[in-house]
Amino acid sequence: MPLQKSGGQVMIDDDRLIEGILVIMRACWNLPSDLEEGELEGFAAELLKRIQAGDSKLALDGYLSLVQANKLRIPPPNAWSEIVDRATILIRNSQPPR
C-alpha cells in the first residue's frame, strides 16, 4: 500500500521515498554506466534510514561523500550535499507534523 493515512495526514511509504531519493540522485550525479540499479537503491535506502534516524546533516554529507568518492568514483563537485538537502526535505514533508 503506497499511501497510509495517519491523523488525517498522508504518509508516503519507504518504497516511494526511496524512489524519490533515486530521482534526486540521478538528477545530481553523473552515474557510471556499469552501476547496477540495486547498488544505487541500496545507497538510497541507507540514506532514508539515516535521515529517519535523525542523523545530522554533517553525518549525512559524510556518508554520501564517501559513496560518491569511494563507491561511485564520481569526482567533485560535491553533489552529495544537494542530495542530502533534497532527500531530507522529501522525507520530512512525507511525515505528519509532530
The pLDDT tens digits for 23-44 are 999 999 989 999 998 999 999 9
Q: What is the pLDDT of residue 15?
A: 94
Q: Look at residue 59 in the predicted model and tell me its pLDDT.
A: 96
Kindly tell me if the per-residue pLDDT of 12 is higher than 80: no
The torsion defined by the Cα of 90, 74, 58 and 25, in degrees rounded to 10, comes to 0
pLDDT (tens digit, 9 = 90+) per residue, 83-93?
999 999 998 88
For 67-80, what is the mean pLDDT? 84
What span, in angstroms and rounded, lies between the C-alpha atoms of 73 and 68? Answer: 6
Domains of the chain, residue spans: 9-93
Q: Which three cell numbers stand for residue 21?
A: 531519493
Rounded-to-integer distance, Cα 48 and Cα 37, Å:
17
pLDDT reported for residue 11: 58
Please give the average per-residue pLDDT across 45-74, as a whole number: 93
Could you tell me the pTM of the whole model?
0.76
- pLDDT at residue 20, rounded to an integer: 96
